[in-house]
Amino acid sequence: MILKSKVAGKLLRIMLISSIIFAVISLVTTFLFVYNEQLYLKIYKFDQFISVFYMILYYLLIIVYLVWLYKAHKDLVELNTMYPITPKGALARVMIPIYSLWGMWNVYSTMYDHFRPIKSTEKLGSQLKVFIPFYYFLFLITNGLNRVLLKSNTGLYEVSDILYLVSYSLDLILLFVFLKMVNIVMKALDLLMVVKQDIIDDTQDVSGQPKVSS
């Protein structure tokens, strides 16, 4: 059995690491914008380029994440037909406004509930449980803060420049947390696949036929 989410997971991991690098650069340039305007003016064009590229990467990251989430749930259902969240159900939980406030937490807490009882994934389940609240609340805070900053850029009202620094800092932390969660889920899926394969091998003889008890 080959995990359907394997390729998408590797791509998601690469994009998250790339996003972290760009987030660090953006944090540095924003720091200069707030505390050293003269030096910032010298790198202004570079910062504009980074901002545009970072935004493009952000939207691509969302697409890859949704593909990975869908395929990861296909794997979970295939590994355990009793798994309660379908691939489409997982997408609905994170994409539908308002519903996603409950859905995001439910997606990862259900994974934790599934990983915890199995010996090989118990530790990973415990690790995922620790990161879930950090991811959930950081996502809500950064999403709300980014909306505020977006509206301020349209001239509706003014905000403190330090708020941009706070926003980029929280974005960076969120990316680190999310990368850790993706790594945990991918490792757990690998281990669950091994368990599933062991069960299949244990029920078949060397010729591939079902074992017959004596």
Q: In a 3-state reduction of DSSP, which class is residue 104?
A: helix
pLDDT band at 192 (very low <50, low <70, confident <90, very high): very high
Structural domains in the chain (count): 1
Whether residue 17 lies inside any domain: the answer is: yes
Is the predicted pLDDT of residue 32 greater than 60, yes or no?
yes
Which pLDDT does position 37 carry in this prediction?
Answer: 85
- Tokens encoding 138: 């950081």
Whether residue 68 lies inside any domain: the answer is: yes
Is the predicted pLDDT of residue 205 greater than 60, yes or no?
no
Which pLDDT does position 213 carry in this prediction?
Answer: 44
Whether residue 200 lies inside any domain: the answer is: no
pTM: predicted TM-score of the whole model, two decimal places:
0.87
Whether residue 214 lies inside any domain: the answer is: no
Phi, psi torsion values for 48, nearest 5 degrees: -65, -45
Whether residue 111 lies inside any domain: the answer is: yes
Interatomic CA distance for residues 77 and 83, integer angstroms: 5
Question: Is residue 42 packed enough to be buried (19+ CB in 10 Å), middle (13-18) or exposed (0-12)?
Answer: exposed
Whether residue 203 lies inside any domain: the answer is: no
Whether residue 29 lies inside any domain: the answer is: yes
Interatomic CA distance for residues 116 and 107, integer angstroms: 15
Whether residue 213 lies inside any domain: the answer is: no
Residue 12's domain comprises 6-195
Per-residue pLDDT tens over the stretch 149-180: 877 766 656 667 788 889 889 999 999 999 99
| Alpha helix segments (H runs only) across the chain | 6-35, 37-42, 44-79, 87-95, 99-115, 122-153, 161-202
